[in-house]
Structure 1
Amino acid sequence: MTAEQTTSTEAADLMINWELVRTTAATLAAPGPRLTAAEAAAEVQALRSAAAEAVGHVHRITGIDAAKGLGEDLSDVLIVDRAGWSAANAESFRRLLAPALSVALANKPELGKEGSTAQVFGSAAAGAELGAILAYLSANVLGQFEPFHQSRLMLVAPNVVDIAGQLNVERADFRLWVCLHEQTHRVQFAAAPWLADHLKTKITELSVSTMGQADSLPQKLAEAAKQLGAELKGRKSDGETAAAESDQPRRNRLLEALQSPEDRATMSHLTAVMSLLEGHANVVMDAVDSSIVPTVKTIRRRFEDRSERRSPLQKLIRRLLQLDVKAAQYRDGQKFVGHIVEAVGMEQFNRIWEAPEYLPTEHELHHPQEWIERMELR
């Protein structure tokens, strides 16, 4: 089978062993809390009830009309365990990465010879690596709205139980608090039915471009590292220490050196949109008071303090996966949304869901007044 004859999905199956992804994730995932069958069934039902209730609060807080009726239709709300969450994400990755993996296969056709040593070991190594990442994430994700494959909301029941126990908070309140965040994402995509295809297109563009430049990456990396080393040496000669600059700006410049201007623009756009979505969901969570979630202040405080109690290994893994970087970006998104709502109100802010050109740029994310002026809001 030649690369030209290979479809995108077939390329994805040749480049990554997806069955190994699923089995690795299920095997390596940390064991969840021990529940009897009756307790597990009760938790599932309680989560579904919380998911239904949360939509009404999201509608009241945001004023987004697309939320109407979503609480009555829970057909796309799935209560899953850790293995189920990993399997669902493996399938989503398989479809989302298929075009890029097809390009990679065209660049390295030897990997497309099914049954060859390169194909078997290469796909197994990729499958084991992705499975290990999903295993770690599956024990930490509370919920996820997945807009690309089947447009579904997943709530990871064992993690809701486990983290509520770790925080020693009222489980019913914690369920609703989590569902408020996740149902906000469901409402966002209902309010902007074009958003899923828009994001998928941008992600595909970026991943295909990256795979297309894979052969030139080692040279680009060497050149970027040399340039960065010279810059840091110059800073030291001026009396500045390398430690005076955080790791993140260095990593950003290194990444920028590896990317084309078009790829940098796409990455910037995706960063801004994902920060917006998460920041908006956080604003909704913070808008609830004790009349909705009686112990909300305790939950917020203990959830925020939880990061300080992570083990050194957990902190290392989070750093490698850049989870803390993403968390910082989402806080930026929350500040952006908060500023807009305070300045012009939630109704005016909701224009952001009307069209792709209304989405903020990464620059506007840090300068929200410029978005207000561009949108001509008063």
Structure 2
Amino acid sequence: MNQVVDWKLAANAARTLMPAGPRIIKKDAARIVEELRIAAGEGLAEAEKISKLLSTAPSQTLVVDRAGWAKAVSQNFAAMLPEQANVPAMVPAVAGAELGAVLSVLGTRVLGQFDPFVGPRLLLNAPTITQIRGELNLNARDFYLWIATHEQTHRLQFEHAPWIPEVMKSILAEAFGPLEDEGSMNQLGERLKAMKSEVGELTSIMSVLEGHAMVVMNDVTSIGSIKTIRRRFEARGENRSVLATLLGKLLGLDAKALQYKRGAKFVRHVVDEIGYEGFNQVFSSRELFPSAEELDHPERWLARTR
């Protein structure tokens, strides 16, 4: 039994290709790790206060280097994707090398990740956080809290909507279910084209999760320099989560559909209309989650759910 992607190879390739990050003396590195751990706890408190969702389950916090981040993300995806008996011999290695190259780029850009499939655990990419904080000349405490609030919001989402990881795994299992030896990649492409509604649902899920986390992190009032952080971070360019990016790569999804802004616009509209408590009904069931069409027309979701 194996997978379409050799995730161990992907992690190793990413580790080889990625720069280690900024050079930091041991004393400063230990301080940064401790500050990030503190920010993780404070970020959960802020996420709970703003989102009106409370955490009831334990979660691990891992402050990692870039190689550790790539390994953990690979483990996450290995847990998401189904194993199958008949995968052409060269496919996992080719896919692993390709996605390892993608991870090597993402590892220099992605700051954190919440992993509901292994753990659950919060990953904070210390070298990249440190590098970007320095490049943007941001207040360290404020920046760490801003990042942690975003990732801890994902923790709350998955706790209150345990059906979401199951839907994600189900869609991926259908997409990557047993393939024939001959023409398997063509078969996968045809299968994905036939799964238009499922892929649309996955796109909506990712967009709302990322948009919700963005709205919550930007509503933190205790971050004194939040306007500066937002302005400089947005000027840095578009950013997508590693989950959104790799799913887009695996499934051939339109990258624009997975960007934070689409979901953030939906969430902000709904929160402004009915508050976070009203918005939180999206997590209660699959049926109450917005469709791909409703994502671009939040007033239609409001009309359906009121």
* TM-score of Structure 1 vs Structure 2, range by shorter chain: 0.7 to 0.9
1:333 partner letter? G
Partner residue of 2:108 out of 129, 135, 139: 139
SS in 2 for 1:77: strand
2:136 partner letter? L
Structure-2 residue corresponding to 1:343: 273
Asked if structure 2 preserves the Cα contact closer than 8 Å seen for 1:181 and 1:281, the reply is: yes
Distance of aligned partners of 1:323 and 1:33 in 2 relative to their CA distance in 1, 3 Å threshold: farther
Residues 229-284 of structure 1: per-residue CA shift (max 9 Å, x gap):
xxxxxxxxxxxxxxxxxxxxxxxxxx9x9611xx1000000000110000101111
Residues 142-173 of structure 1: per-residue CA shift (max 9 Å, x gap):
00011123221111111110000110111111
Residue 56 (structure 1) aligned with residue 48 (structure 2)? no
Residue 47 (structure 1) aligned with residue 36 (structure 2)? yes
Structure-2 residue corresponding to 1:276: 208
Structure-1 residue corresponding to 2:228: 298
1:37-186 matched pairs, under 5 angstroms:
37-64=26-53, 66-67=54-55, 75-99=59-83, 102=84, 104-105=86-87, 111=88, 119=89, 122-186=91-155
1:205-284 matched pairs, under 5 angstroms:
205-208=174-177, 211=179, 215=183, 259-260=193-194, 263-284=195-216
Q: Distance in 2 between matches of 1:189 and 1:151?
A: 10
Q: Distance in 2 between matches of 1:267 and 1:60?
A: 33
Distance of aligned partners of 1:332 and 1:288 in 2 relative to their CA distance in 1, 3 Å threshold: same
**Percent identical:** 41
2:10 partner letter? V
1:288 partner letter? V
Q: Distance in 2 between matches of 1:213 and 1:325?
A: 29
Shift of 1:288: 2.0
Q: Distance in 2 between matches of 1:163 and 1:89?
A: 20
Q: Distance in 2 between matches of 1:340 and 1:214?
A: 48
Structure-2 residue corresponding to 1:333: 263
Shift of 1:301: 0.5
Q: Distance in 2 between matches of 1:123 and 1:368?
A: 40
Q: Distance in 2 between matches of 1:190 and 1:276?
A: 15
Shift of 1:137: 1.1
1:358 partner letter? L
1:281 partner letter? A
| TM norm structure 1 | 0.71
Residue 374 (structure 1) aligned with residue 298 (structure 2)? no
Shift of 1:51: 0.7
Q: Distance in 1 between matches of 2:181 and 2:93?
A: 23
SS in 2 for 1:287: coil
Partner residue of 2:219 out of 256, 273, 287: 287
Q: Distance in 2 between matches of 1:92 and 1:276?
A: 20
| TM norm structure 2 | 0.87
Structure-2 residue corresponding to 1:311: none
2:206 partner letter? M
Shift of 1:95: 3.0
CA radius of gyration, larger in? 1
Shift of 1:124: 3.5
Q: Distance in 2 between matches of 1:214 and 1:264?
A: 24
What is the number of equivalent residue pairs in this alignment? 297
Q: Distance in 2 between matches of 1:16 and 1:199?
A: 17
Q: Distance in 2 between matches of 1:297 and 1:214?
A: 55
Distance of aligned partners of 1:218 and 1:98 in 2 relative to their CA distance in 1, 3 Å threshold: closer
Residues 203-252 of structure 1: per-residue CA shift (max 9 Å, x gap):
2223328x56983765998xxxxxxxxxxxxxxxxxxxxxxxxxxxxxxx
